[in-house]
A and B are shown apart, each in its own frame.
Chain A
C-alpha cells in the first residue's frame, strides 16, 4: 500500500538530483551520528568510572583487590571480601542454574508435546521480566524465612562436615542470594540453550536415533557436543548477569563486611550489593572514589565476560555455518 503512495508522490513531484542527494546526506549523517553516539557512550562510561576511581586507584593501587574491610572512620577500604562474595554467589548460582536450564531447554526442544512448548517457553522467559527489586522483596520476606527454618538447618545437619554448610542464624545469607540469582539467570541460560538445541540438524539426531540409541544417548552424543560452545557462551552470559546484579542481592545477603568465610549459611556481601547499600552514604571523597573503584571492577568483569561470550558465539557460528543469536 505504501509502495503505491510513494510512487504516486514521486510521479507527481519528481525529485531533483541535488535535493535527493542532500536528503540522503542528512539522513545518513544523522543516523551515523546516532550510531557514533552509542560507541562514544560506551567510551564515556568507561572514562567516567575510571575518572571517579582515580583517587582510590592512586591511594590503594592493586592492593585494593587483595585487602579486606570497609572502614570509613580509618579510611581503609578493600575489595577482597566483596570480590570473593561476588564470585561465590555468581558461581553458586551458575552451578544451580545450568543443569536446570539445560533440562528446561531439552524439555522444550525434545520432550514437550507441541501444544505445551509455546506457553512454557513464554512462561520461562517471563521469569526474566520480573524486576530484581520484586525478586529481592520476595527473597527477603518469603524465601529467606523458609530457607532459614526448613532448608538450611537440614542441610547443615546432613552435610555439616563440609565447611560450606555451616550453622545458620538468619534468612539473609549468601545461600539466599545464590537461590535468588539462580532464579534470575535461569531464563537467560535456558532460552539461549533452547535456540542452540533447535539449531542441531535433524539429520544428525535422526541418524543417531536410527542407530538404536535411546533419546538420552542421542542428547549426550549429538546435541551436547554440537551445542557445547554455545552453551558455554550462554553460561558466561548468565555469569555476567549474576556478577552485575546489585539490588536483589543487596536485599537478601545481609551486608556483612567481616572477614572472608566459607559458610554459605551466613551473611556476606558482593560488589553490587555494597554499591547499592553504601553509595548514597559515602562520607569522604576517598570512600566515594573507592566505590567508583568497585564499579570499575564490575565494569571490567562485565566487559570481559561479554567479549568472551561474543568470541565464543562467533567462533561457533563460523564453525557451524549458522548464525547463532
Chain B
C-alpha cells in the first residue's frame, strides 16, 4: 500500500466521516433491534400480568367453569382446566422421560456413528413437525375408535416432548468424561452397570433440567390437545385420565373467542397463571442447566 493511501486513513475526510456515520447508524439499529426484542417480551408479559393478576382469586383454582355464563351472573372458576393440565402433562412426562433417556443412552453409549446420525436426524425431524399435525396424528391413531381422553392428549404431548428430552439428555451424556467410563470398564464392571451406575448418575441433574424445560414447553401447547382431549364444560375437577379432560391452554383458546368481558377476564387470569408457571420453571431450569454444565465441563 502506498503512503498516500495511508494518509487518507489517518486524516479525517468526507469519505471517512461518511463511513463512520454509516457505522454509527448501523450500531444504533442493532441497539434498537435488541431493545425492540426485549420490549416485546416486556409488553406481552406486562399486558398479561396487568389484566390477569387483578382477576386472580381463589375461585379460579377451586370452582368449576360455568357452562353458560351470563353478564353479572356467577363467575365460577377453572379448576377443571388446571387439574386437567396437571394430569395430562404429568402422564406425558412419565411417557416421554424414560423413552427419551433410553434413546439418548443408545445414541451416546451404544450406537455406531451412522445410526447415531440417523437417530439425531429423526429427532430433529420429529421436533420440526408442527404441533397441530401431531394432534391430528393422535386423533387418527387413538381418538378414532377410542374417543377423546386425557391419555390421548398425554400421548400427543409426549410425542412433542420426546425430541426435547432426548436432545438435552444426549448433550448432557456427551459431557460425562470418557475417563470415568474407562476407569469403570477397566475395573471389570460390565458395560450396562457402568452406563446405569456411573454415567447416568453423573448426567442426572442435566437430564432433569432438560425434562423440566420440556414440561415448561409443552404445558402451554394447545394444538395437540384440541382434537384429542377437548371437552365442553365439565362438571368439576376430574382426575381420571381415561376421561376427556379440560386443559388450561385449550380453555384460554376457547375463552378468547367468546364475547363476554367476564370470559376474557378469566382467559387473562388463566394465561397469567400459565405464563408465570412457564417463565419461572424455564428460567430456573435454564439457570440450573448452565450451572451443572459448567460443573461437568470443569470435571472434564
Contact = CB atoms under 8 A, between A and B. Distances in A.
Interface of A: 2-3, 5-7, 10, 14-15, 19-21, 23-24, 26-28, 30-35, 37-39, 41-42, 44-45, 48-49, 51-52, 99-104, 106-108, 110-112, 120, 122-127, 129-138, 140-142, 183, 186-187, 190, 212, 214-217, 219, 237, 240, 243-247, 251, 272, 275-276, 279-280, 291-292, 295, 298-299, 302-303, 305-307, 310
B59 interface: no
B193 A23 contact: yes
Contact of A244 (B99, B133, B166, B220): B133
Interface of B: 9, 19-20, 22-23, 26-27, 29-34, 36-38, 40-41, 44-45, 47-48, 99, 102-103, 105-107, 109-111, 115, 118-119, 121-134, 136-137, 139-141, 159, 162-163, 166, 180, 183-184, 187-198, 201-202, 216-217, 219-223, 226-227, 230, 249, 252-253, 256-257, 264, 267-268, 271, 274-275, 278-279, 282-283, 286
Given A190-B37, A310-B124, A134 B30 contact: no
Given A49-B133, A217-B23, A276-B223, A100 B252 contact: no
A298 B9 CA distance: 55
A49 B283 contact: no
Contacts of B107: 35
B122 A126 contact: no
Given A131-B249, A217-B23, A108 B34 contact: yes
A247 B45 CA distance: 18
Contacts of A120: 34, 38
A129 B226 contact: no
Given A34-B103, A251-B257, A279-B227, A122 B283 contact: yes
A3 B180 contact: yes
A45 B134 contact: yes
A113 to B, nearest CB: 11
Contacts of B275: 130-131, 134
A306 B29 contact: no
Contacts of B115: 35
Given A30-B102, A214-B19, A217-B19, A134 B48 contact: yes
Contact of A126 (B23, B41, B223): B41
Given A15-B190, A186-B37, 17 more contacts: A7-B189, A20-B191, A27-B192, A35-B119, A38-B123, A126-B279, A129-B279, A130-B45, A131-B274, A133-B222, A134-B48, A216-B27, A247-B223, A279-B136, A295-B132, A303-B128, A310-B121
A322 to B, nearest CB: 16
Contacts of B38: 120, 123-124
B271 A137 contact: yes
25 contacts: A2-B202, A3-B198, A6-B184, A6-B187, A6-B197, A20-B192, A20-B193, A23-B193, A26-B192, A31-B109, A38-B162, A107-B34, A126-B41, A131-B275, A137-B267, A138-B47, A186-B40, A190-B37, A214-B20, A243-B130, A247-B249, A272-B223, A276-B132, A276-B226, A279-B136
A39 B219 CA distance: 24
Contact of B22 (A23, A38, A101, A214): A214
A306 B188 contact: no
Contacts of B193: 6, 10, 15, 20, 23
Given A35-B103, A219-B26, A302-B130, A134 B34 contact: no
B29 to A, nearest CB: 6
B299 to A, nearest CB: 11
Nearest to A127: B41
Nearest to A27: B192
Contact of B26 (A100, A126, A216): A216
B125 A303 contact: yes
Contact of A103 (B34, B192, B201, B252): B34
B216 A106 contact: no
B39 to A, nearest CB: 10
A103 B29 contact: yes
A108 B180 CA distance: 36
B30 to A, nearest CB: 4
Given A35-B107, A44-B141, A3 B119 contact: no
A247 B224 CA distance: 10
Contact of B190 (A23, A104, A212, A272): A23
A89 B217 CA distance: 24
A131 B217 CA distance: 8
A292 B136 contact: yes
Contacts of B45: 130
Given A3-B183, A126-B282, A10 B33 contact: no
A243 B243 CA distance: 32
Nearest to A33: B102
Given A6-B197, A134-B48, A136-B256, A24 B190 contact: yes
A20 B230 CA distance: 48
